[in-house]
Amino acid sequence: MCGIVGYVGSSEKKEILLDGLKELEYRGYDSAGIAVIEGSNLNSFKAVGKLENLVEKAKSFKADSFGVAIGHTRWATHGKPTELNAHPHLGKKSYVVHNGIIENYQELKKELIAEGVTFLSQTDTEVIVHLFEKYSESSEPFEAFQKAIERLDGAYATLLITQDAPDTIFFAKHGSPMLIGFGEDGIYFASSDTAIIGKASEVYYLEDGEYGYAKGSDVAIFNKEGKVEFTKKPLSSDKVSAQKDGYRFFMEKEIYEQSTVIVDTMMGRVLDSEVVLDEIESGFFDGINAIKICACGTSYHSALAASYLFERMAKIRCDVEIASEFRYKEPLLSSDTLFITISQSGETADTLEALKMAKRAGLKSLTICNVDNSSIVRESDVALLTRAGIEKGVASTKAFATQTMLLWILAIYIAQLRESVSKEQIASEIEAMRHSPTVLKVTDALHSKIHRLSKRYLHGHGFFFIGRDLFYPLALEGALKLKEISYLHAEGYPAGEMKHGPIALADSNLFTVALMPKTLLYDKIKSNVEELSARDATILAISPESFELADDFIQTKYASHPMLEFFEMMVVTQLLALEISIRLGNDVDMPRNLAKSVTVE
Ligand code: M6R
């Protein structure tokens, strides 16, 4: 949530900031802003809404002499998405940008107001710049910055520039991601490395509690023990930024990419007669008798699906928790439990904190993640990367597909170790895995059918996505996709549970998307759908088997393995959400109120 960039050097700063913010816009697009100090010149621009508004506003601005610059793209937490609440926030002669939440900002604000400070915004962030300026009255800038940071509780990645030190950026990180890039033309800061690729050749990922300054080309980092000796890592320059390549939206492109990225996820892991995971050292599973998975949103849904696979195939106890719930429930954790996190971004604050808690309790940890070097990857004992490539659409699609595939591989891997399934069964799982890329291919016929039929589903009083077993998490995911990009109310429900309450809602304006696989509990779900149809619900059935009570029917083809049916139905639900959202005229890739990476709790 929120993206920040910074730069110290002589190159044209506006372009550096705007390029970086473009890459970070997925983190929030309520407003954007930049501030530049060059000698005694201090300039800033802010605009509400997407980055293009800021680009327009700063069109004729140029900043190419030596100086410092910071930028921000906002996902609003405190205060509405207005220009006054947009970052950078200005004091008398300093600017600040921040990603995170300052939990004690009200207390600090009260104190500062009592001392005569006037606040312009409703944000928590503004306290940082006023604290800094208060301490600057009696201290050198770096000391003042240190004193300000010491007063903050909560999560922050923050950059501050001031006319008192026009060649310096002050930075601090605690709980929100930030890195420093080192390039020939200057020093860069960003929330994620995608913002500085092609500019910096080396990078240092700041740890929690680190702060410091970049002055010219000199960077000094400190923590509470003193000065930090840090080692830079090379930053590859070939991570090309994602382009739409002719698709209408990134989400659409990412749905189509699933059949190829799944191959990357399997590469070197799915062999002829076994699965291997080189990232896991032998002995890692010694003493492990249970698995707990923690995640949020779509990643939570892939975790739920995995729990069926872990118990069924690997015969290992598995429970799944929503990370934000797990954190505060005072969970009982025992060291024979492997703690698995799942995250596309690797930066989700609740998942990261849950992981830290589990580590403090002495649990071994493993993450399934899409972003190498992300905070969750760095914090975990073992990281299995999903290799989905950059996912730009806020609604997660290919990340979900690759997470689910990797969890399936992991379930078989553990089953091999525990010898809980026969060689024949492993062979049949592997054969099914190898079929997955074909199943994930979007055909023109399927896409046009969903496009045509989506017209019927633009109104009504809501959707139920129903499924059983593995298809219950898929129902949850289908409903989440639809609600986040169409703004229509949708719920995922276990089909067998409808009669315990929700069936009361059934009438012809209740749309039911029924996931009816042939390989798992077909007769059971069929009865559940019949019960709904008898009460006049409008049924969209997705199944290999034709279903006479369906108002609309999408016939699937691959009824040889539950996971193949899972992947095929997943694509159908993704396309359905996409087409409904496009018909409603929504911005599919940047749905209202959301951000791609949720780095606040
Ligand atoms: O990056 P993560 O996988 O940790 O993100 C978790 C959720 O924020 C994310 O899946 C969210 O629910 C997506 N918008 C779903 O499409």
> What are 113-159's pLDDT values in tens digits?
999 999 999 999 999 999 999 999 999 999 999 999 999 998 899 99
Co-location of 42 and 82 in the same domain: yes
Tell how far the Cα of 400 is from the centroid of ligand 1, in angstroms: 9
Q: Is the per-residue pLDDT at 187 higher than 60?
A: yes
| Residue among 109, 199, 481, 596 flagged as catalytic | 596
Percent over 70 (pLDDT), the chain:
99
Co-location of 238 and 254 in the same domain: no
Co-location of 514 and 493 in the same domain: yes
- From the alpha carbon of 481, which atom of ligand 1 is closest? 16
**So what's the pLDDT on residue 306?**
98
Q: Establish if 592 belongs to a structural domain.
A: no
CATH classification at residue 265:
3.40.50.10490
Q: Is the per-residue pLDDT at 241 higher than 60?
A: no
Question: How many Cβ atoms are within 10 Å of 282's Cβ, its own excluded?
Answer: 7
- From the alpha carbon of 597, which atom of ligand 1 is closest? 1
Co-location of 217 and 145 in the same domain: yes
Across residues 64-84, what is the average pLDDT?
A: 92
For the Cβ of 395 lying below 6 angstroms from any atom of ligand 1, the answer is yes
Tell how far the Cα of 102 is from the centroid of ligand 1, in angstroms: 23
For the Cβ of 296 lying below 6 angstroms from any atom of ligand 1, the answer is yes
| 3-state secondary structure (DSSP) of residue 327 | coil
Co-location of 539 and 573 in the same domain: yes
Domain boundary among 216, 242, 268: 242
Nearest to 344 by CA among 515, 477, 245: 477
**So what's the pLDDT on residue 246?**
81
Fill in the amino acid letter for 377: V
Co-location of 262 and 376 in the same domain: yes
CA gap 300, 320 in Å, rounded: 8
Co-location of 334 and 237 in the same domain: no
- From the alpha carbon of 395, which atom of ligand 1 is closest? 16
**So what's the pLDDT on residue 543?**
97
Higher pLDDT, 71 or 461: 71
For the Cβ of 396 lying below 6 angstroms from any atom of ligand 1, the answer is yes
Q: Is the per-residue pLDDT at 179 higher than 90?
A: yes
Co-location of 148 and 178 in the same domain: yes
Question: How many Cβ atoms are within 10 Å of 178's Cβ, its own excluded?
Answer: 26
Give pTM, 2 decimals.
0.81
Q: Establish if 89 belongs to a structural domain.
A: yes
Q: What is the pLDDT of residues 536-569, one digit of tens each?
A: 899 999 999 999 999 999 999 988 999 999 999 9
Q: Is the per-residue pLDDT at 459 higher than 90?
A: no
Co-location of 286 and 400 in the same domain: yes
Q: Do residues 491 and 465 lie in contact, with contact meaning Cβ atoms separated by under 8 Å?
A: yes
Half-sphere exposure of 238 toward its Cβ, with a 13 Å CA cutoff?
A: 0
Q: Establish if 596 belongs to a structural domain.
A: no
Largest CA distance in the chain: 80
- From the alpha carbon of 295, which atom of ligand 1 is closest? 4
- By residue count, the chain amounts to 601
Q: Establish if 78 belongs to a structural domain.
A: yes
Fill in the amino acid letter for 516: M
Q: For atom 9 of ligand 1, which residue has the closest CA?
A: 297
Q: How far is CA 456 from CA 2, 4, 248, in A?
A: 37, 42, 22
Domain boundary among 242, 265, 289: 242
Q: Is the per-residue pLDDT at 599 higher than 80?
A: no
Tell how far the Cα of 319 is from the centroid of ligand 1, in angstroms: 19
Q: Is the per-residue pLDDT at 176 higher than 90?
A: no
Domain count of the chain?
Answer: 3
| Domain assignment of residue 534, given as a range | 444-583
Instruction: Supply the mean pLDDT for the chain.
Output: 94
Q: Establish if 557 belongs to a structural domain.
A: yes
CA gap 179, 190 in Å, rounded: 6
Domain boundary among 201, 226, 242: 242
CA gap 74, 21 in Å, rounded: 10
Which of 192, 400, 598, when mutated, tests ligand 1's pocket best, judged by the most ligand atoms within 8 Å of its CB? 598
CATH classification at residue 201:
3.60.20.10
Co-location of 165 and 267 in the same domain: no
CA gap 578, 576 in Å, rounded: 5
| Residue among 2, 294, 296, 318 flagged as catalytic | 2
| 3-state secondary structure (DSSP) of residue 210 | strand
Co-location of 269 and 397 in the same domain: yes
Q: Establish if 595 belongs to a structural domain.
A: no
Say whether 296 is catalytic.
no
Sheet holding 317-322, edge to edge: 317-322, 290-295, 337-343, 364-369, 382-385
Co-location of 219 and 314 in the same domain: no
Q: What is the pLDDT of residues 427-457, one digit of tens each?
A: 999 999 999 999 999 999 999 999 999 999 9
Across residues 93-120, what is the average pLDDT?
A: 95
Q: Establish if 79 belongs to a structural domain.
A: yes
Q: Which two tokens stand for residue 70?
A: 């910071």
**So what's the pLDDT on residue 238?**
62
Which of 26, 298, 384, 397, when mutated, tests ligand 1's pocket best, judged by the most ligand atoms within 8 Å of its CB? 298
- From the alpha carbon of 394, which atom of ligand 1 is closest? 14
Higher pLDDT, 501 or 601: 501
pLDDT band, very low/low/confident/very high, at 594 (cuts 50, 70, 90): confident
Across residues 71-79, what is the average pLDDT?
A: 90
For the Cβ of 1 lying below 6 angstroms from any atom of ligand 1, the answer is no
Q: Establish if 87 belongs to a structural domain.
A: yes
Q: Do residues 383 and 280 lie in contact, with contact meaning Cβ atoms separated by under 8 Å?
A: no
Say whether 294 is catalytic.
no
